[in-house]
Amino acid sequence: VSICDFFNFLGLDFSHELNNGKIILNNTKCPWMESAGPNPNYCFMSKCIISRFVRKTVMNFSIETEKTIMDGSDECQFNLAIH
């Protein structure tokens, strides 16, 4: 199961792409925003879940939250770099 499959099972719409050696995770649907309103804790939890998935295979990585639906963007974007 990929991280995108996991999030999509929860009702989100995750996809990924490679760009300049980074893995870009994009999400265009946020059921938490729709049901609970803006709460950055959901974005933080998503980042933590991504980190847990990655840590199973790689120990040296960084993850940045570039934008979120909760902040008014049209999508969430997490940039993952493996070092």
**Confidence (pLDDT) at 9:** 95
**Confidence (pLDDT) at 47:** 95
Contact present, 45 and 15 (Cβ < 8 Å): no
DSSP string, the chain: --HHHHHHHTT--EEEEEETTEEEEEE---HHHHHH---HHHHHHHHHHHHHHHHTT-SSEEEEEEE-GGGT-SSEEEEEEE-
Tell me the per-residue pLDDT of 14-69, one tens digit each, with 9 for 90 and over.
Answer: 999 999 999 999 999 998 888 888 888 899 999 999 999 999 999 899 999 999 99
pTM of the model: 0.90
